[in-house]
Structure 1
Amino acid sequence: MALIVQKYGGTSVGSPERIEAVAERVQRWHAQGNDIVVVVSAMSGETNRLIGLAKAITPDPDPRELDVMVSTGEQVTIALLAMALMKRGVAAKSYTGAQVAIRTDSSFGKARIESIDDARMRADLAQRKVIIVAGFQGADDDGNITTLGRGGSDTTGVALAAALKADECQIYTDVDGVYTTDPRVVPQARRLETITFEEMLEMASLGSKVLQIRSVEFAGKYNVPLRVLSSFGEGGGTLITVDTEEDMEKPVISGIAFNRDEAKLIVRGVPDTPGIASRILGPIGDANIEVDMIVQNVSADGTTDFTFTVARGDMKKALSVLEKVAQDVSAREIISDDKITKVSLVGVGMRSHAGVASKMFAVLAKENINIQMISTSEIKISVVVDEKYLELAVRALHTAFDLDAPSA
């Protein structure tokens, strides 16, 4: 017998029929003698509908009241799933985030979990009840309803699994696991049986949308085994777990991530003096713009070029900040480019294998793809290329690093 936390996303509970299907699955797991805690999202499209209602009243809704409103989406789902289980003779009980005592800070719309009181859940589990918890939400010390940000139901699931010391946290979604890359770009992409927390965190931060980054961080911190499974079919999915010695025998590269949401900014002809990077990036940070990759060229005639990337949606805002910065540092000009993409190789095998970067560069050169920027860490290599070469680059690298599924 195991204690399992299952999380179902919006598409998995998007209609009464799909909620019935979830109930069938939960019933099967429960009948096998497992203790089950289920975390659910709002039905697909519901959160957007609620936000739209708020925006119809005011373009700038009060954050506290907006959290009160959008949290109702999950409340509908937990009650419906409890009803579906009871109809099948399974004892079930639903809880909102506040009722199950998920305590958060008071950052409405992006709250962080501070503590979970598991006493009520353990008492219900002792009576063989299936517990159904509203994802994405909690309450602060003053009893205000808070939400955890988009994708927060994943974090709720992992946090409950950590608090209960569950044997596994299963994330049910509309894909049947984590793939070597997006199958829509590379039809030969393979589903991974296992992947480490480190690799999954890199994949998530570099563009893979399977799991929310905070949920992977949480799982890694508390060593919660995560499994990504499909709501619409059977199969073992992908297990996300700690790095082990056996992982060194894995392929050098586990996956390829990419991010289309990139823009590049170049500040040309700035003085090559100590503190210049701070003078350029300080105001960018003050404007709450996140910087990704950074390159500073070698000095020529006492000046240098400073290049960095931001999210594409932040480019105009960053340009307006840089206009003043350019005057302050006597820069020659500012150049922007939002027609770029970032492609990244990820794998713990890089730690014990040399030559990954040179092979990556050779593959791209063979396809006549120019590399504009490079960034590395212990288990990843990222390059910025022209966005028109994205699919060609990913497919070529996927084949070159032996990630393609065997031909049927």
Structure 2
Amino acid sequence: MLVVQKFGGTSMGSIDRIKHVASRVIEEKSKGNDVVVVVSAMSGETDRLIQLVKEITSEPSERDMDFVVATGEQVSAGLLSITLNSLGYDAVSLTGWQAGIKTDKAFTKARILEIDTDRIRNYLKNGKIVVITGFQGITEEGDITTLGRGGSDTSAVAIAAALKADRCDIYTDVDGVYTADPRIVENARKIDVISYEEMLELASLGAKVLQIRSVEFAMKYKVPLRVRSTFTTDEGTLIKEEDAEMEKVVVRGIAHNKNEARITVERVPDKPGIAAKLFEALAEANIPVDMIVQNVSVDGYTDISFTVDKNDISKAQKITEKVAEEIGARGVITDDKIAKVSIVGLGMRNHAGVAGKVFDTLAKYGINILMISTSEIKISCIIEEKFTELAVRVLHEAFNLDK
């Protein structure tokens, strides 16, 4: 059996913890399995490296930024490989590019294009444990790239898919996926099994357990994914293809995201192609847009509001202001004191009244909804940031998720 194990920054946070990770790796190897390990930088290390760069400039070249922050994972991979070898287990450490991970040129949030697994397979054939740096790859031109925050999850699942691994275990500091953030909701429950689709929504809506692209890879290549704790023997949460049993649960979990900002373009001429001009300019700058709301046209003018990641706000504002001037809009307003609260569940497809219950619950507690977005299996509301924790708690209770 071929198993890919991924260990996050907290798991790799100190030499003692790296020794503990080594014992988890050896446990898997001792079962007679081939093992590939993907590691994150030691906790706090990526932030430290980013801070060093920011002490020099607030707008570094993204290529150089990747060059700097990619080093964190190399330290982790090297230390784990050294630990395993010192314990008598044959291990080898590889960077993302040595492991054949090719990406596009979108520095700081690159996408994996392909993985040449020959080198990994050769090491496995010779009985070695292969330790690979997560979060990084290389462009066709030989430039180092990183995959964005949480990118080690994506590295692990992509490697598991490329190797056709039997299992991919994501080890972290929590023992699975919960119905809500346990730090906010005391009686949040661990979910034993969840569908790829539900996990995809939760990850994209702010649940910090897995990076969204890792779930996309798992779903596309049908990689059975398990989220479990490095520090307990709990089986964690299994993420797999949906079955009929899963649809019986109306709401599976609640996610929240405070890392959102809203941009409103006022008095936009209501003509074909105007919105396209704005969102094409943002896309060219590689700024993902989340929710979009356009008001009803009055006298040939309308307002357009949309949300972006808080980290992209200054870049997005500059672009939006430039386009607003070109199209003759009145002005641009930004608001970074917002949050998104969402409920997710396969059962929402065939249960009526879920949206009404969400809106009624929030209204009861005086929480105003600024924007709404829905899909077959999710309802998201943009609210004022100060109400985030309250909204999560009251919705968790309203849908009996603690039961």
**TM score, norm. by length of structure 1:** 0.88
Q: Distance in 2 between matches of 1:287 and 1:30?
A: 45
Q: Distance in 1 between matches of 2:84 and 2:285?
A: 49
Gaps of 5+ in 2: none
Deviation at 1:119, TM superposition (A): 3.0
Q: Distance in 2 between matches of 1:270 and 1:106?
A: 34
1:92-111 → structure 2 map (5 Å cutoff): 92-111=91-110
Question: CA 1:91–1:276 in structure 2 vs 1: closer, same or farther (change >3 Å)?
Answer: closer
Question: CA 1:342–1:127 in structure 2 vs 1: closer, same or farther (change >3 Å)?
Answer: same
Q: Distance in 2 between matches of 1:288 and 1:303?
A: 28
Report the residue type matching 1:208 in the other structure: A
1:55-204 → structure 2 map (5 Å cutoff): 63-204=62-203
1:194-343 → structure 2 map (5 Å cutoff): 194-249=193-248, 251-278=249-276, 281=279, 285=283, 289-315=287-313, 318=316, 331=329, 335-343=333-341
Deviation at 1:106, TM superposition (A): 4.3
2:10 paired residue number = 11
Question: CA 1:309–1:160 in structure 2 vs 1: closer, same or farther (change >3 Å)?
Answer: closer
1:35 paired residue number = 34
Q: Distance in 2 between matches of 1:146 and 1:286?
A: 19
1:356 paired residue number = 354
Deviation at 1:67, TM superposition (A): 4.0
Deviation at 1:60, TM superposition (A): 5.7
Helix, strand or coil at the partner of 2:46: helix
| Identity within the alignment, % | 59
Deviation at 1:30, TM superposition (A): 1.4
Helix, strand or coil at the partner of 1:13: coil
Which moved further from structure 2: 354-363 or 133-142?
Answer: 133-142
Helix, strand or coil at the partner of 1:185: coil
Deviation at 1:285, TM superposition (A): 4.9
Question: CA 1:372–1:131 in structure 2 vs 1: closer, same or farther (change >3 Å)?
Answer: same
Deviation at 1:268, TM superposition (A): 4.3
Which moved further from structure 2: 349-358 or 321-330?
Answer: 321-330
Q: Distance in 1 between matches of 2:8 and 2:93?
A: 16
**TM score, norm. by length of structure 2:** 0.89
Question: CA 1:301–1:236 in structure 2 vs 1: closer, same or farther (change >3 Å)?
Answer: same
Question: CA 1:5–1:60 in structure 2 vs 1: closer, same or farther (change >3 Å)?
Answer: same
Report the residue type matching 1:160 in the other structure: I
Q: Distance in 1 between matches of 2:23 and 2:263?
A: 52
1:371 paired residue number = 369
Report the residue type matching 2:78 in the other structure: A
Helix, strand or coil at the partner of 2:178: coil
Deviation at 1:38, TM superposition (A): 0.7
Question: CA 1:263–1:99 in structure 2 vs 1: closer, same or farther (change >3 Å)?
Answer: closer
Question: CA 1:172–1:332 in structure 2 vs 1: closer, same or farther (change >3 Å)?
Answer: same
Which moved further from structure 2: 179-188 or 144-153?
Answer: 144-153
**Mapped contact 2:5–2:169 kept (Cα < 8 A):** yes
Which moved further from structure 2: 269-278 or 69-78?
Answer: 269-278
Report the residue type matching 2:388 in the other structure: L
Helix, strand or coil at the partner of 2:11: coil
**Mapped contact 2:228–2:237 kept (Cα < 8 A):** yes
Deviation at 1:63, TM superposition (A): 4.9
Match of 2:398 among 397, 400, 408: 400
Deviation at 1:23, TM superposition (A): 0.9
Report the residue type matching 2:9 in the other structure: G
Helix, strand or coil at the partner of 2:177: coil
Helix, strand or coil at the partner of 1:292: strand
Which moved further from structure 2: 145-154 or 190-199?
Answer: 145-154
State the superposition RMSD in angstroms.
Answer: 2.8
Deviation at 1:90, TM superposition (A): 2.1
Report the residue type matching 1:398 in the other structure: H
Q: Distance in 1 between matches of 2:268 and 2:83?
A: 65
Deviation at 1:324, TM superposition (A): 5.8
Report the residue type matching 1:116 in the other structure: I
Which whole-Å deviations, capped at 9, do the CAs of 1:69-99 have from their partners, x for residues lacking one? 4333322222222222223332222222232
Q: Distance in 2 between matches of 1:382 and 1:20?
A: 42
Q: Distance in 2 between matches of 1:393 and 1:47?
A: 31
Q: Distance in 2 between matches of 1:303 and 1:83?
A: 64
Q: Distance in 2 between matches of 1:120 and 1:364?
A: 54
Deviation at 1:280, TM superposition (A): 5.3
Deviation at 1:223, TM superposition (A): 1.2
Deviation at 1:64, TM superposition (A): 4.7
Deviation at 1:192, TM superposition (A): 0.8
Question: CA 1:194–1:270 in structure 2 vs 1: closer, same or farther (change >3 Å)?
Answer: same
**Mapped contact 2:321–2:331 kept (Cα < 8 A):** no
Deviation at 1:289, TM superposition (A): 4.4
